[in-house]
Chains A and B, each alone.
Chain A
Amino acid sequence: MNSHRTLLESNGTAPSSVLSDPPHPRLFRAFGAMLLDAWREFLDAKILFLLLGLIGLLLAVALTGRVEPLPSGKNYLDLSARAMAANLDGVDLARETVADMAGRLNGSVVWIAKAEPLGADLPDGAWSVELKRSFVPVAAGPLPPEDVRRKFGRIADGQLWNVRNVAETSDTLGRNLGMQSFQLTVDPGPDLRLLWPHQFSLFGDAFDLTPPRGAPLGLEVLILQKLLTTGLGGSLLLLMAVVVTAAFVPNMIRKGTLELLLVRPLPRWLLLVMKYVGGLLFVAVLLGLLVAAAWLISGILANIWSPGILLALPSLMLFFALLLAVSMCVGVITRSAVAAMLVTVTYWAVLFIAGQMHNQVVESRFREENVGKLRPTSVVDSLRGAKPRREEPLKAGRVPFHRTLVGRVTEWVYAVLPHTEDVDTLVDRQLMRDLAVSGPFRALVERAEFSWSRGVGLTLLHTLGFLLLACMVFSRRDP
């Protein structure tokens, strides 16, 4: 003991508590050190600053944008009147759209005879409206003003208007003949602004991104948020993260570096897992910045602060957790950053293609089941003046995709692959509900099946599998 004590004292510091420490603080300390190390390595790859710069640039470009409402009050009053011709009671607004109302017609026709804005023709202005209703006395009775108050402004996409006051102006004779008229004052409803067509342009007015009649604000925000996060922006960031983190493991297990780690009093698998969590956390910070930027941008531009887009973070993280596990596994086996990067990107491409092909299978099956039925329409369609279309049967002799061999193989393969886009679907659903987006996109998203075990469980299972393999190879190999 003497010799040991002399060493401790000769360096003039307090005796080491290493031997008496309980294991947990030591593990936390080691974990903290690995995180810090991963952070340094991440910072060292200058790509991080490039990423932050890109996010900043994105923010700057987005802030040059202008979102301006277009006059559209009459359109939306019309739409509300037409919707009164259908019985919307008990309709699931998340799943059914205007087109689905066909079977719910209540034997009446409702239209706007006259409408005057009380202020400007903007999504925050009130209107004075003269409403006419014609009905078949045998099929439908007169509508009491209270029902008009309850029904007017409600369309499948959301609540356009709130009726402030309503008075019936028709006389008994008219009512008996099937003619009613009402005088209403309406205020903007909670969803009016989201559904109101807006013009969206970048760099002042220089670069107009919307069609001449504009697009509903909610849809514009949805597209913007998706583009920045789960779409192009997120994919680019993930790709860069894959490139940066691909070198993590090969650098760590380089001869001459690995020994310096393995000689520490920590199990090998733990070193690898700590490195994994470190990489994950720093990419989470980056993705968090991106998602926050998307939320800020849409908030500042459109004054829509609904937090649904924040769900994109766990979705992106889940996907990156899988990619990082693949990359680490390949890195451990091959010791090559390039191989780790290439295999990971290839794996990603396989998942993407399998997902796309599976979508085709789902589409094909849906089409077959719904031949002759109306396709969903939305406010966007009605803005364009489009008539609802019906699902058309396939040309004679063509086999639906889901019945072909490729389609079947696709389904089998897809059944065992991670379903990362399922989680995206969950995000889309939330966004579309928040932003009152309907129509074919919405129908597609609502139609897709989602289960936690498949959407999240399968992805986690694959992630764990790759990690486990990496740990096994790493633990068994001689340095």
Chain B
Amino acid sequence: MSRLQALAVSVNRLEKRYGDLAALAGVSLEVEPGTLFGLLGQNGAGKTTLIKILLGLVAPTAGEASLLGEPVGRLAGRREVGYLPEDHKLPEYHTAPSLLHFYGALQGLTRRERLARIPFLLELLGLKGREKLRIRGYSKGMKQRLGLAQSLLHRPRVLFLDEPTDGIDPVGRKQIRDVLLEQQRTGVTVFINSHLLGEVEQLCDRVAIMRRGHLLVSGTVAELTPTKPTWLVGFETPPAGGLRWEGCQLEAAERPGLWRVHLDASAPDSLDRFLAQVHRAGLRLRHLEAERATLEDLYLTLATSDRQAP
């Protein structure tokens, strides 16, 4: 397998212990190149430790980890990765361009490369026009966007982002999501740590959930959030009292004005029969939605259970 076709991230029975505490208790994981991968978990689940091991910042206690087919921790491998740490503190005496020049030069970029790349990134992340402002005067969102800019500076093939949209307003989030999708489109593997479930669900193709150092589940968002045999319906004039029809039952849903109906998933025409009954009852439908399990459902179930990794 050539280097470029190798897995972006491959982790095999990885362990990290701090004394008696197991930050990672045997995690195995594979991420294909070009994936937008979301790692979910509560604070202290081991997400950041996993990223730090992949970046070669922390040495594992046991197990193997490789990045783009090479064992982690090699200096040359760091030219291929970009990293945005959680709660990063950018040196406040810099301006955005000077900071990017600093990191870019450490990364090995020539001045010419930096001069071409930096204005592009500042524009991309909406920091243009603030070139003279010291980072001291930046808002949290601006710092976050500048942090993202430094991770993209050297055109990495794998991006590790620890809580990238933390503290950013909705417009900024959309902007960052677009940037990440564009990165993915150009073949970059994006590895996101987050506890913002909706965000991850919206953005990522593949998701894994960690808890207390264990990887609980991993798969595509569709795999992890199967459709349910329930539909949400809304009527122009709500039916008086509960309705009970052949093969189905309506009950009030959590969202106001909507009803949940359980249909027999094994019968292919169950929805048609339900609609025919609505029509017969003289009701007019204005909302119909198939219910899916959300990542939140799955996450809450896993987070509160005592289930361990298989």
Q: Which of A40, A262, A266 contacts B57 (CB 8 A)?
A: A262
Shortest Cβ gap from A49 to chain B (Å): 14
**Complex contact A18–B187 (CB within 8 A):** no
B85 close to A260 (CB less than 8 A): yes
Given known A-B contacts A33-B106, A260-B90, A14 and B113 have beta carbons under 8 A apart: yes
Taking the complex as formed, is B44 at the interface, i.e. its CB lies under 8 A from any CB of chain A? no
Within 8 A of A (CB), among B79-94: 79, 81, 83, 85-94
With A40-B94, A259-B57, A263-B81 as known contacts, state yes or no: A6 contacts B117, CB within 8 Å.
no
Within 8 A of B (CB), among A319-339: none
Q: Is A41 positioned at the interface, with any CB of B under 8 Å from its CB?
A: yes
Contact between B109 and A43, CB atoms less than 8 A apart: no
For window 352-405 of A, CB contacts with B under 8 Å fall at none
Rounded to whole Å, the gap between the CB of A54 and the closest CB of chain B is 22
Q: Which B residues are in CB contact (< 8 Å) with A251?
A: 91
Contacts known (A1-B4, A266-B106); A11 close to B57, Cβ less than 8 A: no
CB closest residue in chain A, given B5: A1
B76 interface residue, CB < 8 Å from A? Answer: yes
Cα A267 to Cα B102 with chains together (Å): 16
- A263-B83 contact given A13-B120, A18-B109, CB 8 Å threshold: yes
The answer to whether B85 touches A4 (Cβ under 8 A) is no
Contact present for B4 and A37 (CB under 8 Å): no
Least CB separation from B16: chain A residue = A478
Check A29–B105 contact: CB distance below 8 A. Answer: yes
On whether A37 and B78 interact (CB within 8 A), knowing A16-B109, A479-B57, the answer reads no
B-side binding surface: helix, strand, loop or mixed? loop
Q: Known: A263-B55, A479-B57. Is A17-B88 also a contact (CB below 8 A)? A: no
Query: Min CB distance, A37 to chain B, in Å?
Result: 5
Q: Which residues of A contact B57 (CB under 8 A)?
A: 259, 262-263, 478-479
Q: Which residues of A contact B52 (CB under 8 A)?
A: 259, 478-479
Q: How large is the interface on A (under 10, 10 to 19, 20 to 34, 35 or more residues)?
A: 35 or more
In the complex, the answer to whether B89 meets A254 with C-beta atoms within 8 Å is: yes
- A255 touches which of B87, B104, B110 (Cβ 8 Å): B87
Size range of the chain B interface in the assembly: 35 or more
Residue numbers in B under 8 Å from A264 (CB-CB): 78, 103, 106-107
User: Which of the residues A18, A29, A254, A259 comes within 8 Å of B79, measured between beta carbons?
Assistant: A18
List A residues 232-270 near B (Cβ within 8 Å).
251, 254-257, 259-267
CA distance A333 to B106 in the complex (A): 24
Asked if B155 lies at the interface with its beta carbon under 8 angstroms from chain A, I say: yes
With A41-B93, A479-B52 already in contact, the answer to whether A263 and B78 are too (CB < 8 A) is: yes
Q: Does B214 contact A (CB under 8 A)?
A: no
CB-CB under 8 A from A141, the residues of chain B are: none
- Cα of A407 to Cα of B236 in the assembled complex, Å: 102
Mark each residue of chain B from 173 to 210: 1 if its CB lies under 8 Å from any CB of chain A, else 0. 00000000001001110000000000000000000000
A21 within 8 A of B: yes
The reply to whether A11 and B106 form a contact with Cβ atoms under 8 Å apart is no
Is A350 engaged at the interface, CB distance under 8 Å to the other chain? Answer: no
Q: Could you tell me the distance in whole angstroms from the C-beta of A333 to the nearest C-beta in chain B?
A: 19
Asked, given contacts A2-B187, A21-B108, whether A257 binds B55 with beta carbons under 8 Å apart, the answer is: no
Given the interface contacts A12-B120, A263-B83, A264-B103, does A41 sit within 8 Å of B154 by beta carbon?
no
Closest beta carbon of chain B to A80's beta carbon, Å? 62
Contact A16-B120, Cβ < 8 Å, known A256-B89, A263-B55, A265-B107: no
A27 shortest CB reach to chain B, Å: 9
Contact assessment for A30 and B83 in the assembled complex, using a CB-CB cutoff below 8 Å: no
The winner among B34, B98, B108 for most chain A CB atoms within 10 A is: B108
**What residue of chain A has the Cβ atom nearest to residue B82's Cβ?**
A263
Q: Is the CB of B187 within 8 A of A26?
A: no
Q: Chain A's nearest CB lies how many Å from the CB of B213?
A: 16
8 A Cβ contacts from A1-36 to B = 1-4, 6-8, 10-14, 16-19, 21, 26, 29-30, 32-34, 36
| Given A3-B33, A6-B187, 15 additional A-B pairs, CB 8 A | A2-B187, A11-B120, A18-B108, A40-B91, A40-B94, A41-B91, A255-B89, A256-B87, A256-B88, A260-B103, A263-B55, A263-B57, A263-B83, A265-B107, A478-B58
Can you list 14 A-B pairs, Cβ within 8 angstroms, ordered by A? A4-B4, A7-B188, A11-B117, A13-B120, A16-B154, A18-B79, A29-B111, A32-B105, A33-B101, A33-B104, A37-B94, A40-B93, A257-B91, A264-B107
